[in-house]
Amino acid sequence: MTIVFDSEFLQKLEYLSLLSKRVFKGQLLAQRRTKQTGGGIEFADHREYFHGDDLRYLDWKVYARHGDLLLKRFQEEEDLHVYVLLDCSRSMNSTDTEPGLAVDKFTFARQLTAALSYIALADLDRVSIVAYDSQIRATLPLMRGKNNILSLLKFLESLQVGGEETNLAGVVREFTRRAPRTGLALVVSDLFDTDGFRTGVDALRHQRFEPHVIQVHTSGEAHPDVLGDIELHDVESDAVRKVTITERKLKEYEELFAGFLNDVETYCRNYGLAHTRATPDVPFDEVLMRMMRVAGAVT
């Protein structure tokens, strides 16, 4: 099994976690958290007051003493459920389609998944990972606490790409049926779904999950470098196309792909969904930091 997460990766995870908590004040996942209604009685922690929070949970003593507006966090309230839907279809395997990449697409997706999961775990949120292709292939049950990071990483390392064509809609149906409660749903995928990604994401919304779309693609998928008479082989469907690719066709392809990316972004914006687009040539930690900056700017 290829080692995906080494010691250097773990160090980066810790750094990102601290960055998220101390610099960005947990903004990455914070807005979701404020909407949680909780009735727990066990005091767990303080967190900063945001406009709209229930004032009943304000810690008046701290306010009186220090003048800081802090909310008491109880066990139930801070149990944000973070579900990561990780696309493990064959289209995520860029070693076949672009063997020269330093980090292949699937590994990159797993790195992002691991980093987001670690930040959530560090924030005492519960995390579950659902690996899917045409159906749910593997599930890491909800877990909490940073001490579970190793088993999470182990789970991610064990995942393999495979299956038939991606079917996000079907997977979401199954997922929402199984999930114990709603929460944040991070969809980490290339969104190359013949039925379209909208159906699946809509289903998440309708089931009161908060979708966050993290779209992953390679530079070669956006700007292919093929010319001439080619036999194209779809790695998911095994379909074959014999085509003659000219410079003009390449240009049209790039316009189509750019339009696709734009569609995803527009859809997310229209529905107020968080959206991130990343390519493996950018290190995952930079992607996370960019996500944090965006989250901090929005909030």
By the criterion CB under 8 A, which residues form the site for other proteins? 90-92, 94, 96-97, 190, 192, 194, 221, 224, 226-237, 239, 241-244, 246-247, 249, 252-253, 256-257, 260
Closer to other proteins by Cβ: residue 51 or 241: 241
Distance CA 225, CA 222 (A): 10
Closer to other proteins by Cβ: residue 123 or 165: 165
Distance CA 275, CA 124 (A): 24
Of 59, 159, 57, 51, give the one whose Cα is nearest residue 114.
159
Q: Write down the least CB distance from residue 232 to other proteins, Å.
A: 5
Contact 109, 187 (CB under 8 A): no
Of 297, 279, 273, 125, give the one whose Cα is nearest residue 212.
273
Q: Write down the least CB distance from residue 32 to other proteins, Å.
A: 31
Q: Write down the least CB distance from residue 227 to other proteins, Å.
A: 8
Distance CA 52, CA 59 (A): 15
Q: Write down the least CB distance from residue 243 to other proteins, Å.
A: 5
Closer to other proteins by Cβ: residue 14 or 164: 164
Cβ-based burial of 218 (10 A; exposed 0-12, middle 13-18, buried ≥19): buried
Closer to other proteins by Cβ: residue 20 or 167: 167
Q: Write down the least CB distance from residue 174 to other proteins, Å.
A: 22
Closer to other proteins by Cβ: residue 38 or 162: 162
Q: Write down the least CB distance from residue 199 to other proteins, Å.
A: 15
Q: Write down the least CB distance from residue 263 to other proteins, Å.
A: 12
Closer to other proteins by Cβ: residue 49 or 260: 260
The total number of residues shown for the chain amounts to 299
Contact 84, 186 (CB under 8 A): yes
Q: Which residue(s) pair with 138 in the sheet? A: 131
Contact 74, 42 (CB under 8 A): yes
Distance CA 237, CA 164 (A): 7
User: Which string of DSSP letters, residue by residue, matches 166-194?
Assistant: --HHHHHHHHHHH-SS--EEEEEE----T
Closer to other proteins by Cβ: residue 184 or 216: 216
Q: Write down the least CB distance from residue 278 to other proteins, Å.
A: 16
Closer to other proteins by Cβ: residue 83 or 106: 106
Contact 185, 212 (CB under 8 A): yes
Contact 168, 189 (CB under 8 A): yes
What's the start-to-end Cα distance of the chain, in Å? Answer: 41
